Amino acid sequence: MNIQAPTRPGTTSAAAAAIERELIELFVHVADLVGLPRSVGELYGCLFIASSPLTMDDLMRRLGLSKGATSQGLRLLRSVGAVRTVYVPGDRRDHFAAERELRPLVAGFLREKVLARLRNSAERLEAVRAVLREVDPAERAVLDDRVRRLARWHQNARQVLPLLLKVIEP
Amino acid sequence: MNIQAPTRPGTTSAAAAAIERELIELFVHVADLVGLPRSVGELYGCLFIASSPLTMDDLMRRLGLSKGATSQGLRLLRSVGAVRTVYVPGDRRDHFAAERELRPLVAGFLREKVLARLRNSAERLEAVRAVLREVDPAERAVLDDRVRRLARWHQNARQVLPLLLKVIEP
DNA sequence: CCTCCTGTTCATTTATTTTTGAACTCGATG
DNA sequence: CATCGAGTTCAAAAATAAATGAACAGGAGG
């Protein structure tokens, strides 16, 4: 007979279950806000709430997701540092736990999803500047102004991001 | 060494046109980053670059968009304060100009697209708290912790947003 | 080596979002 | 008060993103 702590898995009351669903829904909204698929919000929400690490199978059952979606969602969450795997002795399966502090979460997201794009934009802008030098000066005036404005936008963005992290308390 | 197309007076050279396309592409990427459709990025980009206000018809022609998409895109851009209409004497048509300063742009976006969601989340969290009081204390412990954490996330978000605006120079 | 168990991959299906275009509203104008 | 030009709306089509699930890879244990 496989005995688990009786308080945890089977005994959630209807009210507690409703709260869990509502909280997960909240994470789904956050995911949507930052442009991530619903399933990713559900996965993170489920792990955020859980009182101990869960396996892929736990998540699939609780959320009714397919294997593929679960695997890919977890991969994304790990890539931004929102979820980590936890070793559980005597169990070959991966166990996943949520990073519940806001700061590393935001940091990971900015690093992986925003900073990459910023770098890309910087390169494009630089390329544009190079071509712009070849353009006849009479025609160049307006474009010059626009490119300069964009460069300032970019500079602002780079200033703000680290500051943002500093403000979010650990 | 670059070979340039000869420029005729009153026309944009090939190089200048290429730069405009590249800049618009850049705005499309930004739009994508913040979860707005490509057409909205194109519209804003076109207006950002333009040396004078453009009509809906100008935009449709330059970008190859349909009337509907142009109208709706401009509406969205106006709703976040990214674009305003300019009166041109003797022309019944609306003329559109881009807001080119970063601060009001970000402010408008946060106000219309982010703050509304934050308020929504606050309500949901409050509702959850209410239900949580009804739950049997033994079962409540973990959920209580999770809800408290989320409330802190929320508080952090509300602190950061105004600060963010303060940092972006006028 | 074979089998079982986990987890990944990816072509296909499904769902969602975006765009189109024709019908419509509205006001100005003859 | 009929018509025109400008702009909006919205059902339908097209494009895009996400989810599914079966095939696959790899490793532990026999």
A156 neighbourhood in chain B, CB within 8 Å: 102, 168-169
Beta bridge partners of A85: A96
A residues 9-38 lying closer than 8 A (beta carbon) to B: 11-13, 15-16, 18-20, 22-23, 25-26, 29-30, 33, 35
Across chain A, mean pLDDT equals 91
Which strand (E) or helix (H) includes residue A98?
strand A95-98
> What residue segments make up the domains of chain A, in order of their start?
14-98, 102-167
Closest Cα of chain B to A81: distance in Å? 17
Closest Cα of chain A to B43: distance in Å? 15
Reduced DSSP (H G I as helix, E B as strand, rest coil) percent helix, strand, coil of chain A, to 5: 70, 5, 25
DSSP one-letter string for A49-85:
H-SS-EEHHHHHHHHT--HHHHHHHHHHHHHTTSEEE
Give dist(CA B105, CA B114) in Å, integer: 13
Phi, psi of A54 (to 5 degrees): -120, 155
B residues 106-145 lying closer than 8 A (beta carbon) to A: 114, 117, 120-121, 124-125, 127-128, 131-132, 134-136, 138-140, 142-143
Closest Cα of chain B to A59: distance in Å? 18
| A32-86 per-position pLDDT tens digit | 999 999 999 999 999 999 999 999 999 999 999 999 999 999 999 999 999 999 9
pLDDT at residue number A169: 73
For A14-98, the fitting CATH number among 1.10.240.10, 3.30.1390.20, 3.30.450.20, 1.10.10.10 is 1.10.10.10
A121 Cβ contacts chain C strand, under 7 Å: no
Closest CA to B42 of A61, B61, A142, B52: B61
**Where do we find the tokens 């489920």?**
A46
B155 touches chain A (CB under 8 A): no
A55 Cβ contacts chain C strand, under 7 Å: yes
CB contact under 8 A, B121 and A26: yes
Beta bridge partners of B95: B55, B86
Per-residue pLDDT of chain B (170 residues; tens, 9 = 90+): 444 444 455 567 888 999 999 999 999 999 999 999 999 999 999 999 999 999 999 999 999 999 999 999 999 999 999 999 999 999 999 999 999 999 999 999 999 999 999 999 999 999 999 999 989 998 899 999 999 999 999 999 999 999 888 888 76
Nearest protein residue, CA measured to C1' of C19: B69
Mean pLDDT across the stretch A85-111? 96
pLDDT at residue number A8: 43
**Where do we find the tokens 């690490």?**
A53
A60 touches chain B (CB under 8 A): no
pLDDT at residue number B12: 75
- Which has more pLDDT, B11 or A117? A117
- Which has more pLDDT, B112 or A7? B112
pLDDT at residue number B11: 63
Angle between helices A14-33 and B116-134 (to 10 degrees): 170
pLDDT at residue number A27: 98
Residue A2's pLDDT band (cuts 50, 70, 90): very low
B68 Cβ contacts chain D strand, under 7 Å: yes
pLDDT at residue number B24: 98
Give dist(CA B7, CA A138) in Å, integer: 11
Helix extents (H) in B9-101: 14-33, 38-49, 56-63, 67-79
